[in-house]
Structure 1
């Protein structure tokens, strides 16, 4: 027969909520199966770790530690580590000693009531156990006793806690202490130790006890104290048969505790070993409206929603056939006596006698409000995500409708509203789109334009700029065929939410519920109000994006012009912005004819990937064009640009390479350049290895505008290719071996034989860079 403490541990491990306990050093000492299941961290991973080091939510843990130090019970919530997991509810209370300084419960927020029930049941389990339970620390001081000890020995808990056995019980206490010291010395339990005498310093009545003494270890093996299970066997008639009967009663009581903990709810039922219903369940019948005869056998499944019935039957029959039988949990919708369907959670626990299952005790708990609240939050998250995927106002609303049907509504319509005339009570506009749930007949075709009178919910929504909830009104059935469709679809309730842009209602979202979908409620009204607000923000953002994109395209067209045609030289350029949706950024290229002959080329990089960066780039590019001429070296133009831009406050952190390409009579060319903190150009001979050009690299623009600038020069032989680029072509987030430069040369080598346009395309497409920076490539090939 199992010892009572083992049965208590088993009950704790099978509780339907996570249970944990901490010692005085904030070290986790208890972590049951449900706690491991809810958080995804096994007992082996968590036990023995300090609370501050446990793999749980950091900010919540910090608050927990502060509260624990204050010695106060408290509750809270935190997200599980698994991204797909639930939000967890916790409650903690101070414990009774250093080895159980804190006891806590974890569970899903949709079942937060289980926390209160579990704490109450755990305390009840300790206090109402039919045996005495006591716990001592290594100094053999009382740390906790239950009510049975007080019934057996008299006195109060306060007269014991913190005192030694000798101080409380005198000579008999010393005898018990000797036995516990032996347990502490060799670590072996002492079952059924007979003890006789008078407690309370010999003043109590003569008594006889059977005490089971056992060591208590931490997960790391450290001995933390002793536990004692006490049975009073004073009366002579408490012979072996009585002891067996008491033990059986104790086991049955503990089994009942387990069944109650694992299957506590308003509607309780009892079913046979094979899972069928042979006993009446009045509480369940009050929910479903079935008669006793209708529920008997397997008739209780008739109340399950048809979509869930087969799954519920399969899950239940599998549970009753499993060996060993375990706690059964299942969620489905039940038809209620009112005729609607609500979400319920079934929980059932096997009841055992002499090691075998003799019946099942279960409950049905109405969780419809919690399920629908959770679904609303999930739907709101997916609707928000859908609103962020489109970049045009109409596209935002189309994406939203695709998410909401059929999850939230059987029909979703988007009405784009005309500007309202002063004094007008009706609403006109254009019907943008309509989505109908699969299996529902399409509503009769209607004109693209609409006109709703003042009674229509869309008109009221637009007029009041507020969401509307009501039963399907006659105003929705504007024609006989529409009315027939609404009747056939069993449409029952409607929601309308406004969409604003710049303080004006520009659209209305209409949601229609039909069939056995629950009627919309005030909670659904709050949901569509929030969806409408988020749609409004998305429409505003999309409108701003469209305006920004138009500006960006104009900037790009004006600033990134095609290179000129130069005899003896072939010039190609490519530009790939980091902000793809804006199609412009802070990098640029330029190639233009110089006054007096020759070609000016350059690339630059202004910090940032936005419209301000693009504007700065445009100013610098225009200034450089004005300052460059063939009579002066490139460094003169770069120095002048630095001084002028700094004085005007134009520069941000900017690097550039600016140079002149001058054709030679022998068919080659000379490239002379000045570098302001930019990556060095690459030279690719016609039949040679590509290499970075060496030369002077000055400081970036805007730092020291009066610092001298230098020039470098190289001959470009016939067939050679000169490559200028920005750092977006080579940058990597991680490059511990500094391989970016070597990899760029290898990429150039691979594609150098291609026509110049294809060469540039492959550089941009095949680069190993991964920083999502702007990429500019400017290549000049000598004929």
Structure 2
């Protein structure tokens, strides 16, 4: 559940986080670099750009880059119709140029070669990265500079490093990071790329063997998969790279001698299958450990790799290692969070005549263990308690508060045979005085079987989304009665109770707001979407109903966890005490 008080919007927070990521990425670029948004305004700049332009960063950020910087050879403003960078910017494509000028803060002109390319800022917005390099020392206005012949090559190298840093650090998914890395390297540097990763169990997995064919990237899956262990003393190039020892050049002849390990056998197979004649093999090494090895191969591309190429490839591999290391740490943290949450959530009771299923999906961010929870348990009088709730926050405090509320509720419900409203009133008072829970929503219900065999639900709702009742014929109804204020407000007012009969074969759905809330859409739209899909799935077995509902209804832009509790009554009623076994889902 969202915090009740927030001073900035989700878009603002996302933009701020993205700008922080952008700034960190630009600082790793040795040339001048800045990023412009979809309007052409500078949103981030590195220290080298500020130095070259003789302008403090704060005088650059927020300004229109074209109007501020672009000049012709006489120092006059560059018309947008003649500006090749502006044209590439509007087309959203990569472009480069040499022999152009930027205006410096001291009135002089800076001769530049530049590259502009689309940039993933991580904020979901269109952006472009500009990397520029001083062709010679700054000239006075009006004096045309003489270009350095190899400056453009340097700009291309720096632009590749910048793209690698920014694109890889903007994802925390390992597979996506590898996909982006491959797309950056082939066919720009090679026509083959091979990525071997060391798993957390110290096993080697050939994660990618990709070939550039015309305009497509073709994955050779038959060459991917598990690899033999890394030999401790082997002098062969891949073995050394996987131990983090050194970068090496290799060719088919490297592996023609009798193999010293299983990895050498696989490498010979790789060279024979791909036709690679020249390869550069470098470690993928983070600050903590060796994560794998990167191999670039040339079969059709002219020219062999030389030792002069290794520093650039090593630099690219180091940047890839940072992204992969971050992704692994994220996955570990997420696994810990999910494990903790799953241990906090209860097992459902077996109630004769009823089917019951619960689902919990964590928030998409690793550290966001949520405050969403559900519970179901049987009381001494034969009633079954159903409850679902959401403690404010998305952190460990929210999870701990959730456990406190759930355990207190269990104690009150077991000890006091009162209507739901009275139990929740006592819980609300206790939360205020003996816990640190700020606020929470909750629905608390008692389910009983009447003498005629029908099931009846009595409940009270403390600010929670209303339950949805679906008949076996697909008729839906939100149970909006019994609604009161959420817990933790300090307000002491009587809470209402409500009662409803559950028809034979009907499905009752309790859920948290992460299932229906989506940025940019109203709550009513989310409730309508849930109602529509629940009706369409009413004929499904309960497990299929629940899983399909989550897939169809949970918003793609959801940044909240989701708890869901579904219950289905028997299709045919029997006298009390003679309920049939629940159907298999």
Same-fold status (TM-score > 0.5): yes
In 1: Cα distance, 2:320 partner to 2:458 partner = 56
1:677 paired to 2:444: no
- Deviation by residue 1:412-467 (Cα, 9 ceiling, x = unmatched): 46475999xxxxxxxxx86543848679xx99xx992444659777788789x78x
- Paired residue for 2:450, among 658, 664, 667? 664
Aligned to 1:516, the other structure's residue is in SS state coil
Q: Given the superposition, is the C-alpha separation of residues 605 and 755 from structure 1 closer, same or farther in structure 2, using an over 3 Å criterion?
A: same
In 2: Cα distance, 1:624 partner to 1:595 partner = 15
Q: Which residue of 1 aligns with 2:425?
A: 639
Q: Which residue of 2 aligns with 1:80?
A: 89
Q: Which residue of 2 aligns with 1:698?
A: 484
- Paired residue for 1:60, among 58, 63, 74? 63
In 1: Cα distance, 2:539 partner to 2:275 partner = 68
- Deviation by residue 1:174-212 (Cα, 9 ceiling, x = unmatched): xxxxxxxxxxxxxxxxxxxxxxxxxxxxxxxxxxxxxxx
Q: Which residue of 2 aligns with 1:617?
A: 402
Q: Is the 8 A contact 2:173 2:327 kept in 1?
A: no
Q: Is the 8 A contact 2:110 2:138 kept in 1?
A: no
In 2: Cα distance, 1:492 partner to 1:768 partner = 49
Aligned to 1:497, the other structure's residue is in SS state strand
* Pairing of 1:418-567 with structure 2 (within 5 A): 432-433=205-206, 435=209, 448-451=228-231, 453=233, 468=246, 479=257, 494=280, 496-500=282-286, 503-505=288-290, 507-509=292-294, 516-517=302-303, 519-520=305-306, 524-539=310-325, 541-543=327-329, 545-546=331-332, 548-549=334-335, 552-553=338-339, 555-556=341-342, 559-567=345-353
Deviation at 1:559, TM superposition (A): 1.2
Q: Given the superposition, is the C-alpha separation of residues 688 and 714 from structure 1 closer, same or farther in structure 2, using an over 3 Å criterion?
A: farther
Deviation at 1:83, TM superposition (A): 3.8
Q: Given the superposition, is the C-alpha separation of residues 557 and 582 from structure 1 closer, same or farther in structure 2, using an over 3 Å criterion?
A: farther
Aligned to 1:59, the other structure's residue is in SS state coil
Q: Given the superposition, is the C-alpha separation of residues 640 and 512 from structure 1 closer, same or farther in structure 2, using an over 3 Å criterion?
A: same
Q: Which residue of 2 aligns with 1:587?
A: 372
In 1: Cα distance, 2:446 partner to 2:406 partner = 15
- How many residue pairs are counted as aligned between the two chains? 466
Q: Which residue of 1 aligns with 2:16?
A: none
In 1: Cα distance, 2:282 partner to 2:340 partner = 39
- Paired residue for 2:174, among 390, 396, 399? 390
Q: Is the 8 A contact 1:413 1:431 kept in 2?
A: no
- Deviation by residue 1:371-395 (Cα, 9 ceiling, x = unmatched): 444445445555557x74327xxx9
Q: Is the 8 A contact 1:731 1:770 kept in 2?
A: no
Q: Which residue of 1 aligns with 2:565?
A: 778
Deviation at 1:600, TM superposition (A): 0.5
- Deviation by residue 1:515-564 (Cα, 9 ceiling, x = unmatched): 73364566751552353254145235415523641551463265152343
Aligned to 1:549, the other structure's residue is in SS state helix
Q: Given the superposition, is the C-alpha separation of residues 643 and 528 from structure 1 closer, same or farther in structure 2, using an over 3 Å criterion?
A: farther
In 1: Cα distance, 2:461 partner to 2:356 partner = 20
Aligned to 1:601, the other structure's residue is in SS state strand
Deviation at 1:397, TM superposition (A): 7.0
Q: Given the superposition, is the C-alpha separation of residues 555 and 694 from structure 1 closer, same or farther in structure 2, using an over 3 Å criterion?
A: closer
In 2: Cα distance, 1:418 partner to 1:724 partner = 39
1:728 paired to 2:508: no
- Deviation by residue 1:627-656 (Cα, 9 ceiling, x = unmatched): 213612223432343344444544254211
1:606 paired to 2:391: yes
* Pairing of 1:311-350 with structure 2 (within 5 A): none
Structure 2: give runs of 5+ residues left out of the alignment: 1-35, 40-59, 79-84, 116-130, 214-221, 574-585
Structure 1: give runs of 5+ residues left out of the alignment: 1-37, 42-56, 95-100, 125-260, 267-343, 345-364, 420-428
Q: How high is the TM-score relative to the length of structure 2?
A: 0.59
Q: Please report the RMSD computed on the Cα atoms of aligned residues, expressed in angstroms.
A: 5.9
Deviation at 1:664, TM superposition (A): 1.6
Q: Is the 8 A contact 2:401 2:435 kept in 1?
A: no
In 1: Cα distance, 2:452 partner to 2:480 partner = 24
Deviation at 1:480, TM superposition (A): 6.2
In 2: Cα distance, 1:411 partner to 1:766 partner = 37
1:764 paired to 2:550: yes
* Pairing of 1:95-244 with structure 2 (within 5 A): 108-109=114-115
Aligned to 1:80, the other structure's residue is in SS state helix
In 1: Cα distance, 2:231 partner to 2:442 partner = 60
Q: Is the 8 A contact 2:69 2:103 kept in 1?
A: no
Q: Which residue of 2 aligns with 1:131?
A: none
Q: Is the 8 A contact 1:396 1:535 kept in 2?
A: no
Q: How high is the TM-score relative to the length of structure 1?
A: 0.46
Deviation at 1:748, TM superposition (A): 4.8
In 1: Cα distance, 2:536 partner to 2:157 partner = 59
- Deviation by residue 1:557-576 (Cα, 9 ceiling, x = unmatched): 65152343244x44444444
In 2: Cα distance, 1:39 partner to 1:579 partner = 26
Aligned to 1:555, the other structure's residue is in SS state helix
Q: Given the superposition, is the C-alpha separation of residues 730 and 73 from structure 1 closer, same or farther in structure 2, using an over 3 Å criterion?
A: same
